[in-house]
């Protein structure tokens, strides 16, 4: 890896780590919030909140995700970000207003579909958040596109801290599920204020960057994002096919425990897209290829950790949520692999976006919808939440395989066979240890730490990490 490529890779990795560490606050804050809500609201109340909040989050990510990546790409390619930033700000705000209004109108219909009358009021309350998130998303995209990852990390950290405090405050005031929703909206307001302060966007800048260009490039990404979000309607499919609110609560609890790969995906995606767009815009294709290759390899490094989680799934669920949520254990064992599959799909999608081929992302995303639908219709009536998790994991892993084949065909980048074999060998070892070594409480934590160290030692001994990667890791953590 040459010096310039190493510098770009170092900036990408440090940015990813900073954002990941900030977003990783969702582990303690999310743990506190999830346990507090699960124990305070009970399985039924927590199931309703999980259902509504996931629905809103699904809509937010779908409507803003494709155009967020488009903004990051164009800002990364241009030295003057203000024209793109101003146009993006207007577009995101319009999307937020329109989406929020539509969701407010459709709330009774959605509530009737799920046969949960209380959902309508919760959905309408959540609809207020859409324009707020539209503006804060545009500001964060400006920061990512200009390489200001540390500011993005600060914003994410403050949002998560505000979220846990506000949710606990409002719920303790006796507002129940509405209190949890108000706390979530309040955290989004905090995020908007801080992101606007850091980005300082020019709201009324006379932009020469046409909004139709953002729409034209972002439309295929929006379709891809929409299909991915429809595919991840496993919780809603479970509820629609007859599951109780309590069963939805078990599934929601398992989903919350797959958050680590989701955080890594979010932390890596846009800094990676910004870095690749910048390098490709300068004609530095070989350097961009090196960084893309390392990003792809990093996804399969997580497979052994997923296997460890699957092997200890029941113990993890009992430790965090208590015996009442034991049914979430088998669900978690499959959903953790679904999260890894989606990570690989998103990495590939960002590579294709940076290459200026957004239409190719739909080739992977569109078929995932009918496959998941057929699978859910067959397995959910037979196996309930476990069936939904099996379908989600299978389709996600298949989509990941197709994505990697596509990257190879377009850019001649493929995973080394030795790396794949090492990851699967260490995954089998991690799963075996996690399954055969029963543990609870503090011993479970020690067991998981031990298995993580075994995985890392396995990678080091087998030479999985290159000398350049080890040097980069050491420089980031200032290891002598």
Going residue by residue through the chain (480 aa), what tens digit of pLDDT does each one get?
A: 444 445 555 556 665 666 666 666 666 776 778 778 877 877 777 878 888 887 888 788 777 776 777 888 888 777 777 888 888 888 889 989 999 999 999 999 988 887 778 888 899 999 999 999 989 988 988 888 887 878 888 888 888 889 999 999 998 888 888 888 999 999 999 999 999 999 888 766 666 677 788 878 878 888 887 888 788 778 878 888 888 777 888 888 888 888 778 777 777 777 777 788 777 877 777 888 888 888 888 888 899 999 999 999 999 999 888 888 888 899 999 999 999 999 999 888 888 888 888 888 888 889 999 999 999 999 999 998 899 999 999 999 999 999 988 888 888 777 778 888 999 999 999 999 999 999 988 899 999 999 999 999 998 888 877 766 666 565 545 544
CA distances from 328 to 198, 254, 323, 458 (A): 40, 5, 10, 30
What is the pTM for the complete model shown?
0.76
Closest CA to 329 of 339, 314, 346: 314
Quote the CA–CA distance of 39 and 302 in Å, as a whole number.
31
pLDDT of residue 312: 93
Domain count, the chain: 1
Contact 71, 214 (CB under 8 A): yes
Q: Is the dihedral of CA 345, 228, 195, 357 positive or negative?
A: positive
Question: Which residues lie below 8 Å from residue 456, measured CB to CB, with a gap of 6+?
Answer: none
* Torsion angles phi and psi, residue 322, rounded to 5: 95, 170
Distance of CA 63 to the CA centre of its chain: 15
Say what the pLDDT of residue 473 is. 61
Q: First and final CA of the chain: distance in angstroms?
A: 21
Provide the b/e sequence for 394-410 (b: ≥16 CB within 10 Å).
bbbbebbebbbebbeee
Three-point CA angle 121, 258, 145, nearest 5°: 85
15, 331, 334, 426 from 439: Cα distances, Å: 36, 19, 21, 21
Is the Cα dihedral 436, 437, 441, 447 positive or negative? negative
Residue 15: its pLDDT value, please?
A: 59
Domain hosting 61: range is 3-477
Which residues, 6+ apart, have CB-to-CB distance to 444 below 8 Å? 312, 315, 316, 319
Contact 86, 74 (CB under 8 A): no
Q: 95-112 burial string, b = 16+ CB within 10 Å, else e?
A: bbeebbeebbeebeebbe
- pLDDT of 479: 40
């Amino acid at each position: 890896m040459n010096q310039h490529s190493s510098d770009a890779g170092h900036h990408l990795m440090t940015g990813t780590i900073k954002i990941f560490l900030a977003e990783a606050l969702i582990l303690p804050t999310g743990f506190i919030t999830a346990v507090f809500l699960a124990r305070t609201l009970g399985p039924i109340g927590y199931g309703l909140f999980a259902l509504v909040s996931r629905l809103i989050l699904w809509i937010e990510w779908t409507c803003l995700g494709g155009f967020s990546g488009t903004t990051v790409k164009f800002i990364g390619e241009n030295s003057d970000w203000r024209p793109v930033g101003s146009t993006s700000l207007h577009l995101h705000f319009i999307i937020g207003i329109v989406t929020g209004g539509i969701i407010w109108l459709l709330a009774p219909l959605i509530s009737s579909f799920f046969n949960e009358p209380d959902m309508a009021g919760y959905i309408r309350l959540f609809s207020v958040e859409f324009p707020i998130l539209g503006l804060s998303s545009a500001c964060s995209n400006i920061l990512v596109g200009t390489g200001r990852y540390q500011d993005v990390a600060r914003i994410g950290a403050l949002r998560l801290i505000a979220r846990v405090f506000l949710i606990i405050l409002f719920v303790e005031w006796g507002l129940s599920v509405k209190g949890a929703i108000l706390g979530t909206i309040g955290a989004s307001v905090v995020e908007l204020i801080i992101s606007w302060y850091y980005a300082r966007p020019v709201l009324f800048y006379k932009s020469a960057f046409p909004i139709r260009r953002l729409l034209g490039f972002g439309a295929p990404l929006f379709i891809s994002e929409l299909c991915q979000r429809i595919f991840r309607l496993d919780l809603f499919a479970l509820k629609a096919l007859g599951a109780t609110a309590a069963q939805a609560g078990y599934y929601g609890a398992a989903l919350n425990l797959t958050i680590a790969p989701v955080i890594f995906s979010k932390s890596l995606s846009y800094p990676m897209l910004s870095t690749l767009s910048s390098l490709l815009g300068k004609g530095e294709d070989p350097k961009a290829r090196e960084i893309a290759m390392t990003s792809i390899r990093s996804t399969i490094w997580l497979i052994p950790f997923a296997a460890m989680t699957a092997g200890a799934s029941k113990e993890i669920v009992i430790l965090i949520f208590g015996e009442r949520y034991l049914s979430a254990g088998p669900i978690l064992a499959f959903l953790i692999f679904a999260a890894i599959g989606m990570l690989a799909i998103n990495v590939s999608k960002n590579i294709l976006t940076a290459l200026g081929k957004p239409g190719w992302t739909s080739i992977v995303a569109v078929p995932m919808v009918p496959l998941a639908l057929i699978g859910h219709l067959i397995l959910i009536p037979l196996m309930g939440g476990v069936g939904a998790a099996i379908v989600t994991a299978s389709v996600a892993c298949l989509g990941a395989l197709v994505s990697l084949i596509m990257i190879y065909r377009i850019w001649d980048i493929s995973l080394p066979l030795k790396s794949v074999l090492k990851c699967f060998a260490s995954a089998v070892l991690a799963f075996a240890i996690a399954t055969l070594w029963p543990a609870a409480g503090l011993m479970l934590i020690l067991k998981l730490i031990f298995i993580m160290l075994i995985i890392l030692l396995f990678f080091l001994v087998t030479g999985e990490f290159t000398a350049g990667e080890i040097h980069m890791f050491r420089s980031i953590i200032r290891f002598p």
